[in-house]
Amino acid sequence: MPHKYNADRRHRIPKRRYKVANWPAYEAGLRQRGSLTIWFTDEAVAAWRAAPRITPGGQARYSDLAIETSLILRTVFRQPLRQTERLVGSLLGLMGLDLPVPDHSTLSRRARTLAVDLQVRSASGPVHLLVDSTGVKLSGPGEWLVEKHGTQRRRAWRKLHLAVDAKTGTIVASTLTGKEVDDAAQLGPLLDQIDEPLATVVADGAYDQDNVYDTVAGHSAEALVVVPPRATAVPSASAETDPTQRDRHIQAVAEQGRMGWQKTSGYNARAGVEGTMSRYKRIIGDTLRSHTRPAQEVETRIAINVLNRMFDLGRPNSVHAA
């Protein structure tokens, strides 16, 4: 790995081993994620149909609850919209509910304007935030079609920016942008979704910018920013008299080495957000099914709510192996 720091010595660093201390409970939680138990509360049944509108225009037939429920089932079972329509109809029939079923055209149209709030289980106290982004592909020609006819354009994709609570492991904020958007530019929109004060914001070297420190300070003045300075970073002019957080990181790297700084600064906790992105792609998938940007944003927020619910069913308690 020639691009890594201390590449000539990295092979001598033993890999830390972990074990899951609560394996029986965690294993039961993993099985519970596959349990198919669906019920409709009386409140949900009453709210399935849209309320009469009092403004000019056509009357909607389905409430936002009905549309979101259908899209959640689509995400969990990875179904196209037509199959989702039949799935919802089958479930309503099995439960003996006389409710209308949103058709696939309605689901596609309403998905562009649906407002979806992230369902977050916050830990007590200030939030230790882990931030990163990952790429998700757009639906396009399949492998067989590309192999037979070829393609003249590169595969398009979007950037999914995530903010993860290090204590709970849940995703507390997200944005979806084009691939050309800078990661650091999305830190502000992510923090705008978080009402709790911040204790720490941990991110990779792409966030080594002055405006990142200013954005975090604007949200929580006492928050600590842990971002590795780039290899060519130099201290500011006031580093000797009034050092900034970035100055202190540069000084610590010079004194302890980059590996030592990672250990003492808490930067290694950033592996939590990388694990979250891996979990998103393994459970939800790495491709967006929707074709318009508003619908894609709704799709990712529904997927994040599904992940958070699954994670709450059971989470591992990893400890250092003896």
DSSP for 155-187, please give it. PPEEEEEEEEETTT--EEEEEEEETTS-GGGGH
Question: pLDDT tier at 142 (50, 70, 90 boundaries)?
Answer: low
Contact 174, 190 (CB under 8 A): yes
108 pLDDT more than 90: yes
> DSSP assignment, residue 240?
T
Question: pLDDT tier at 18 (50, 70, 90 boundaries)?
Answer: confident
Work out the percent of the chain whose per-residue pLDDT is above 70: 89
Look at residue 9 in the predicted model and tell me its pLDDT: 58
Look at residue 178 in the predicted model and tell me its pLDDT: 92
What residue type is 63 in one-letter code?
A: S
246 pLDDT more than 60: yes
What residue type is 156 in one-letter code?
A: A
107 pLDDT more than 60: yes
Could you give the CA distance from residue 322 to residue 319 in angstroms, rounded to a whole number?
A: 9
Could you give the CA distance from residue 130 to residue 164 in angstroms, rounded to a whole number?
A: 5
User: Which position has the higher pLDDT, 37 or 243?
Assistant: 243
5 pLDDT more than 50: yes
154 pLDDT more than 90: no
Residue ranges of the chain assigned to CATH 3.30.420: 117-288
Look at residue 1 in the predicted model and tell me its pLDDT: 47
155 pLDDT more than 80: no
140 pLDDT more than 70: no
53 pLDDT more than 90: no
User: Which position has the higher pLDDT, 131 or 53?
Assistant: 131
* Nearest-5° Cα angle at 314, 309 to 315: 105
Query: Span 53-65, mean pLDDT?
Result: 88
Per DSSP, the three-state class of 125 is: coil
Domain at 117-288, CATH from 3.40.1000, 3.40.50, 1.10.3210, 3.30.420: 3.30.420
Look at residue 149 in the predicted model and tell me its pLDDT: 64
Could you give the CA distance from residue 159 to residue 173 in angstroms, rounded to a whole number?
A: 14
User: Which position has the higher pLDDT, 123 or 245?
Assistant: 245
Contact 5, 259 (CB under 8 A): yes
- First and final C-alpha spacing in the chain: 29
Tell me the whole-structure pTM to 2 decimals: 0.84
Per DSSP, the three-state class of 291 is: coil
Length of the chain: 322
Q: What is the chain's mean pLDDT, rounded?
A: 88
